[in-house]
Amino acid sequence: MKPLVCIYCEGNDTKVAVVSKMNNRLTVLRTASVDFVQPSIDVEEGISNLNIDGAELNLENIQSQDTVLENKMAASTVTTLANDLAGINLKNSLFIPALTEPAIHYHAYEGSKQLATAKVTQEIIEDIQESKNVTIDKQNLGYVELADKSLLSVFLGGEVGCINLINSLARHHGKRHFRIPAVKSAEISLAYYVAKAKKFFPDDQSLIVYIGKEYSKLIFLQGRKLKHIGATLDIGTLNLHTYDVYFSKILLEMENGGISSLDNIIVCGEDDSENLILSFYGTFPEANVSRIEFGDIDLGGLTQGEKDKFSSYSVPIAVATEYFDELENVHKGINLLPKYVKEDQKLFQFGWHGYAMLPVLFGAAFFITLYILGNQKEINQLDNQITEQTILMRQNQETLTKIADLETKISGFDQTQAILDSAAVGTGVWQEILKHVSNFAGSRKNIWLTKISYGDENIVTIEGYALSRSVLSEFAYSIESATLKSVNYEALREKNTYKFVVTFDLSNY
């Protein structure tokens, strides 16, 4: 569970307690107290910008100087608080401010409580507007039931300085804001915590006296229910000279609240000393005077000095207890979280028109998603088709390669066949030539051949020898278009012979 940073802003005093719930018990991790101290101003420096022009007094520069001083004081407070909370993961923490007057205002309402919650709230708003002439937002209003069945309403009085302090602390740590789930009433939360811790009897009239540094609170209970919240007392440990001042104020508030006697008095805050307790015993001898012991809180992480002064953190501890009980549905308290803080903390900040557009955006996103899914399905189908066509193309490529090989073989076969065909045709011609030459040589018996060759352009050359020149002429004339190229006399085996060369065109034969 995230740590809870409870901040109680009262005047110039700010009390901070960092609380976490471990093993079903609240554990205090850190406490801090920061004073909003007014810086010292040199008189001469303070009036150095005073300008008197004629009959007019110019205070503009002094006002701007005051603003600068306020900014310096705020920055100093934030820096001090940040240093006191060093080591705490504030970015992962929840912040709950506890407010008191004048940041919040109380209004008693005695009208009908049998109406629905929304109608009761509206009636309280109308009653506040009529009696106090103040218009408030219902989101800035909360109420609790008092012991006499009337309602005590609580509403914000304007800008909340404690929230501004939290935002300044967030900016100091580099964030726009810290998470603020609730804003509580200091008096109501303290009354709830004391009633839970003390276990009063139903008819007991009890008083909680919270003493601060500058202010004090008087909270009256009947049994375990809130009965009356007294006006804030302008007395505290810094300006208190005698405890008798409290007693007169208490008697006055008892009269205002219709309380005749007190059975229990619980003191807490900056002063819960024995002297204070004994003083109350002297004035209210029949009352049981005690302090808050915080037995249900784990203070093991604090120093002894912090434990001794822990009563001054009663309000932050009460706020933490109430908030954790609300989370567990043990108790239902009020939440004064302003509307502007809720809007600032939203992840998406929309106006009414933004929310009106949400269904349109949702519908558009839905149909666009369907369109994309449909296209994706079609793309997947096309991818499958492309894959199939790619496989088919590869198969066809292999087939084409085989066809090309076959075409090459067929082409070679055609060439071979042409050669064979041409050779077959030439065989008949050569047969006729050889037959003619053989018949001629056989009939003459004085001519013989030594060589027959086939050259370019279908020219056939016949070489040989003859014993008579006339035979050569006859041989040349016997072959169509033959030419007797040469005749040479040559002695062969002591005989006179004639060597000849005859050529003819085979295509004309």
The CATH number that applies at residue 311 is 3.30.420.40
The identity of residue 113, as a single letter, is: K
Residue 467 lies in a domain: yes
The pLDDT of 444-470, averaged and rounded, is 86
Whether residue 42 sits in one domain with residue 186: yes
Residue 314 lies in a domain: yes
pTM: 0.65
pLDDT at 69: 41
Residue that finishes a domain, picked among 363, 391, 424: 424
Please give the mean pLDDT across all residues of the chain.
Answer: 84
Whether residue 464 sits in one domain with residue 345: no
Whether residue 341 sits in one domain with residue 370: no
pLDDT at 64: 45
From 154, 10, 283, 334, select the one nearest 267 (Cα to Cα). Answer: 283
pLDDT at 45: 43
pLDDT at 222: 93
Q: Which two tokens stand for residue 178?
A: 């810290």
Whether residue 344 sits in one domain with residue 451: no
pLDDT at 314: 94
pLDDT at 27: 93
Residue that finishes a domain, picked among 424, 455, 477: 424
Whether residue 383 sits in one domain with residue 342: no
Residue 152 lies in a domain: no
Q: DSSP letter string over 340-388?
A: HHHHHH-SS---HHHHHHHHHHHHHHHHHHHHHHHHHHHHHHHHHHHHH
Helix (H, G, I), strand (E, B) or coil at 448: strand
Q: CA 29 to CA 31: how far, in whole Å?
A: 7
Whole-angstrom CA distances from 10 to 39, 142, 336, 454 are 19, 20, 17, 134
From 318, 338, 326, 343, select the one nearest 266 (Cα to Cα). Answer: 318
From 1, 29, 2, select the one nearest 16 (Cα to Cα). Answer: 29
Q: CA 82 to CA 178: how far, in whole Å?
A: 13
* 369-405 per-position pLDDT tens digit: 989 998 998 999 999 999 999 999 999 999 999 898 8
Residue 240 lies in a domain: no
In the chain, the percentage of residues whose pLDDT exceeds 90 is 31
Q: Is the dihedral of CA 140, 145, 147, 152 positive or negative?
A: positive
- Asked which of 103-112, 421-430, 447-456 is least confident by mean pLDDT, the reply is 421-430
Cα 123 from chain centroid (whole Å): 43
Band the pLDDT of 419: cuts 50, 70, 90.
low
pLDDT at 454: 81
The identity of residue 493, as a single letter, is: R
Q: What is the dihedral of CA 355, 359, 364, 365, to 10 degrees?
A: 80
* 477-486 per-position pLDDT tens digit: 888 888 888 9
From 437, 469, 436, 439, select the one nearest 450 (Cα to Cα). Answer: 437
From 194, 204, 210, 189, select the one nearest 276 (Cα to Cα). Answer: 210
Which H helix or E strand runs over 286? none
Determine contact, residues 3/19, Cβ cutoff 8 Å: yes
Whether residue 373 sits in one domain with residue 302: no
Query: DSSP code of 90?
Result: G
Band the pLDDT of 326: cuts 50, 70, 90.
very high
| Count of domains for the chain | 3
pLDDT at 506: 79
Whether residue 491 sits in one domain with residue 345: no
**Is it the case that residue 367 has pLDDT exceeding 80?**
yes
The pLDDT of 1-28, averaged and rounded, is 90
Residue that finishes a domain, picked among 332, 349, 366: 349
Residue 153 lies in a domain: no
Pairing assessment for the beta strands 264-269 and 288-291 based on DSSP bridges: parallel
The position carrying tokens 């809130």 is 226
Residue 246 lies in a domain: no
Determine contact, residues 467/498, Cβ cutoff 8 Å: yes
Q: Which two tokens stand for residue 224?
A: 């375990």
Whether residue 174 sits in one domain with residue 75: yes
Burial of 57 (0-12, 13-18, 19+ CB in 10 A): exposed
The pLDDT of 310-322, averaged and rounded, is 94
Q: List the Cα angle 187/84/186 in 5-degree steps.
A: 5
Which of residues 494 and 72 earns the better pLDDT score?
Answer: 494
Which of residues 35 and 16 earns the better pLDDT score?
Answer: 16
Whether residue 91 sits in one domain with residue 61: yes
The pLDDT of 155-169, averaged and rounded, is 87
Whether residue 308 sits in one domain with residue 184: yes
**Is it the case that residue 433 has pLDDT exceeding 90?**
no
Determine contact, residues 27/301, Cβ cutoff 8 Å: yes
pLDDT at 234: 87
Which of residues 360 and 113 earns the better pLDDT score?
Answer: 360
pLDDT at 440: 87
Residue 134 lies in a domain: no
From 101, 103, 139, 107, select the one nearest 124 (Cα to Cα). Answer: 107
pLDDT at 5: 94
**Is it the case that residue 63 has pLDDT exceeding 60?**
no
Residue 117 lies in a domain: no
Determine contact, residues 117/186, Cβ cutoff 8 Å: no
**Is it the case that residue 443 has pLDDT exceeding 90?**
no
Q: Which domain holds residue 365?
A: 351-424
**Is it the case that residue 418 has pLDDT exceeding 80?**
no
Who contacts 155 (Cβ-Cβ below 8 Å, separation ≥6)?
104, 105, 107, 128, 136, 140, 141, 142, 336
pLDDT at 66: 43
**Is it the case that residue 447 has pLDDT exceeding 70?**
yes
**Is it the case that residue 71 has pLDDT exceeding 60?**
no
Whether residue 96 sits in one domain with residue 21: yes
Q: List the Cα angle 204/141/106 in 5-degree steps.
A: 45
Whether residue 385 sits in one domain with residue 318: no
